[in-house]
Amino acid sequence: MNTQQLNAIASALVAPGKGILAADESSGTIKKRFDSINIESTEANRQAYRQMLFTTQGVGEFVSGVILFDETIRQMADDGRPFVDVLKSQGAISGIKVDAGAKPLANSPDEKITEGLDGLRDRLNEYISLGAKFTKWRAVITIGDGIPSDYCIRANAEALARYAALSQEAGLVPIVEPEVLMDGNHTIERCYDVTERTLHVVFDALHYHHVSLEGMLLKPNMVISGNACSTQAAPEEVAEQTVRCFMRTVPAAVPGIVFLSGGQSNEQATANLNAMNAMAEKHPWQLSFSYGRALQDPPLKTWLGQAGNVEKAQKAFHHRAKCNSAARDGSYSDAMERELVGVG
């Protein structure tokens, strides 16, 4: 696949008014989600939950693509259609998480390195046969006493660049995710400094690995206060700091930035994205979303593993997707949160 074709897929994923659903939770993460509603994390329950999300009527108006997990891309709906085909019927592109998770970094155990490069070329070819059009790899950068180290940032940037190059070689659009965690009591200014350092090194590595910027997407954290910080930045400050940081680090050739929610509340993630897109200042990339929990929490808590709750849960998911779609052009408002009546 050439650069033009990769760019077409990347651009479709950040089409105006649309964003990405991250439904790529690992087995451990989905178990924690299911534990919160007291249902067992069996394959059948996971299939039923993902089917509830993917078959939500009209959600394709707001969702351009869905990141799947290895199990999920192989599953089918009750009517026998592969989930990839279900999503295609909604107008959504299927992608796949390809990293093997973050592990302790050798000689720096308080930091993480993401594994999964071994055998990746062969796995990518298999995922193509299953219908994937894009991929995702997450790196984890922790803010703490004396960290992140240059060693950690560079090691993760190198892995991200190698993954992205292999994805593009296979004809898949890579979503590059260097996540600076919001865990901690650090200020928004500290988050800015670490995010700027990280993005400079990541794009330097992408350059050396000949990754086509036009054929990739960036999935970063917002520049935000640590969740234990005594001063929490308002959406307008988050927007100003985030856009300023990215104008200094992210090349204009990148078609879009699809933010992760990173532990923010549903409303906070939407409000912060809205504030960025409401700014008078123009930016060269599409600013979109690739949310997991911030899209899924309301439908999950409404569903509760009960078939009788599917319709209400789908309404909750549709509403959350609609709110984030509005944030794509700065038209989201608090009043939109009150539109959904009788669901909760």
Catalytic residues: 177, 219
DSSP 8-state assignment for residue 76: B
HEC per residue, 218-238 = ECCCCCCCCCCCCCCCCHHHH
Strands (E), 188-272: 217-218, 256-259
CA distance 49 to 54: 9
13 contacts 64 by C-beta, under 8 angstroms: yes
CA distance 50 to 84: 12
Is beta strand 102-105 parallel, antiparallel or unpaired with respect to 108-114? antiparallel
CA dihedral (114, 120, 126, 131) positive or negative: positive
Does 235 sit behind a cis peptide bond, omega within 30 degrees of 0 on the bond before it? no
CA distance 34 to 48: 12
H or E, element range at 331 = none
φ, ψ of residue 310 in degrees (nearest 5):
-60, -45
Residue that has been written with the tokens 């990746």 in this structure: 120
HEC per residue, 110-168 = EEEEECCCCCHHHHHHHHHHCCCCEEEEEEEECCECCECCHHHHHHHHHHHHHHHHHHH
